[in-house]
């Protein structure tokens, strides 16, 4: 089963992934990264690893691991 | 476990663009196309001045930072001296269309064998959001505070259409990065442009409409909607010319 991995240290809190996710699995968490941004977290129970977040993210936060 | 969607190693480092900027997406698309075509180690980027300059810090490839607007001329020299290299000049709209319109048009006119990727965010982003040649009619910027008056400043330039209509170029297209379907389409345009260069058919240009949330004074999502609702009405998306490959 494919899985989405994140690199929260790259997130800039633009929120494009939150809007692009078809399953509303992405939201802003409580954490703050080194850049001072409130980074996004993925609810793995909702995620279907479609890769929309990978496509829309300008900063390379997401990667989809594993073949479907 | 193999990666099914991974960030290309060419750009696998933090970028220094503003939050919500489209440059990061466009650069990733270029790197993905280069990896898929097996040209990732054979690439030279002449880079323009402006926000596009930040590509230099974000990519693991040969690159040359050109004088303002002159990336078209430098790319010509690189491609003529090293015809086996893939040469992609990466420029912004202020660089390619305003200050470097002579170099960009001349390269298209001579049908040079390189590719130009132009990121159009309808202003000079790096210097603080001044009016450029692609600023929309009535758009407010720092140097057009009452909105752009086209009767005084001229109409926004549509370069891919100009290249397609007037010059014998290999490929000209305009894409956008405002949503996922358009990002995928833009990737196919960029790939075709690089293939056109590899086949030696001629000059290829892809303009990419990109948001500039900082200077448009919008939230990133609002900026994406602005592209879909306003910018694409003036800058239509699609392919304008595609020569048959040799």
Q: For residue B226, what pLDDT is reported? A: 95
Residue B25's closest chain A neighbor by CA?
A58
Contacts of B145 by beta carbon, 8 Å cutoff, 6+ apart: none
Q: Does residue B1 have a pLDDT over 50?
A: no
What SS3 state is found at B240?
strand
CA atoms within 13 A on the CB side of B207: 30
CATH number of the domain bearing residue A10: 3.30.70.3270
**Burial of B33 (C-beta count, 10 Å sphere; 0-12/13-18/19+):** buried
What SS3 state is found at B30?
helix
- Taking residues B38-59, what's their average pLDDT? 90
Note whether B246 contacts A: Cβ–Cβ < 8 A. Answer: no
Complex prediction ipTM: 0.94
Q: Measured in whole angstroms, how far is the alpha carbon of residue B70 from the centre of its chain? A: 15
B47: β partners: B65, B90
Which residues of A fall within a CB distance of 8 Å from B179? 20, 56
- Taking residues B94-113, what's their average pLDDT? 94
Q: How far apart are CA B163 and CA B54, in angstroms?
A: 27
C-beta atoms surrounding B18 within 10 Å: 20
Per residue in B3-21, pLDDT tens? Answer: 588 888 888 888 889 999 9
Sequence ranges of the domains in chain B: 17-242
Residue B191 to chain A, least CA–CA distance (Å):
16
Q: For residue A66, what pLDDT is reported? A: 82
Tally C-beta pairs within 8 A across A and B: 76
How many separate domains does chain A show? 1
Note whether B6 contacts A: Cβ–Cβ < 8 A. Answer: yes
Q: Which domain holds residue A52?
A: 3-65
Q: For residue B246, what pLDDT is reported? A: 56
B86: β partners: B43
Which residues of B fall within a CB distance of 8 Å from A55? 180, 183-184
**Fold annotation for B17-242:** Rossmann fold (3.40.50)
Residue with the bigger pLDDT between B243 and A6: it is A6
- Taking residues B208-237, what's their average pLDDT? 95
Note whether B181 contacts A: Cβ–Cβ < 8 A. Answer: no
Per residue in B159-188, pLDDT tens? Answer: 999 999 999 899 999 999 999 999 999 999
pLDDT tens, per residue, chain A with 68 residues: 788 999 999 999 999 999 999 999 999 999 999 999 999 999 999 999 999 999 999 999 999 988 76
B124: β partners: B130
Per residue in B123-143, pLDDT tens? Answer: 999 999 999 999 999 999 999
| Average pLDDT of chain B to the nearest whole number | 92
Is B1 close to A59, i.e. CB distance below 8 A? no
Q: Does residue B245 have a pLDDT over 70?
A: no
């Amino acid at each position: 089963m494919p899985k989405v991995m994140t690199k929260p240290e790259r997130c800039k809190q633009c929120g494009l992934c939150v809007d692009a996710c078809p399953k509303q699995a992405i939201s802003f968490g409580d954490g703050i990264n080194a850049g001072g941004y409130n980074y996004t977290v993925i609810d793995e129970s909702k995620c279907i690893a479609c890769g929309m977040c990978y496509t829309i993210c300008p900063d390379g936060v997401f990667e989809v691991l594993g073949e479907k | 476990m193999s990666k099914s969607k991974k960030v290309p190693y060419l750009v696998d480092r933090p970028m220094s663009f503003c939050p919500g900027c489209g440059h990061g997406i466009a650069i990733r698309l270029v790197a993905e196309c280069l990896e898929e075509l097996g040209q990732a180690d054979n690439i030279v980027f002449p880079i323009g001045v402006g926000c596009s300059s930040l590509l230099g810090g974000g990519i693991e490839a040969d690159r040359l930072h050109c004088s303002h607007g002159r990336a078209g001329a430098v790319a010509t020299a690189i491609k003529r001296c090293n015809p086996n290299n893939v040469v992609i000049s990466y420029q912004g709209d202020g660089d390619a269309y305003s200050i470097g319109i002579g170099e960009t048009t001349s390269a298209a006119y001579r049908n040079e064998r390189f590719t130009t990727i132009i990121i159009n965010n309808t202003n000079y982003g790096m210097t603080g959001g001044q009016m450029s040649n692609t600023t929309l009619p009535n758009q407010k910027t720092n140097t057009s505070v009452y909105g752009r008056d086209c009767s005084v400043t001229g109409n926004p330039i549509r370069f891919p259409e100009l290249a397609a209509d007037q010059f014998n170029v290999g490929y000209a297209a305009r894409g956008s990065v405002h949503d996922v379907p358009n990002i995928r389409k833009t990737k196919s345009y960029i790939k075709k442009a690089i293939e056109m260069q590899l086949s030696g058919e001629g000059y290829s240009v892809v303009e990419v409409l990109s948001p500039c949330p900082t200077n448009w004074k919008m939230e990133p999502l609002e900026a994406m909607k602005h592209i879909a609702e306003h910018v694409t009405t003036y800058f239509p998306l699609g392919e304008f010319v595609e020569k048959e490959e040799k």
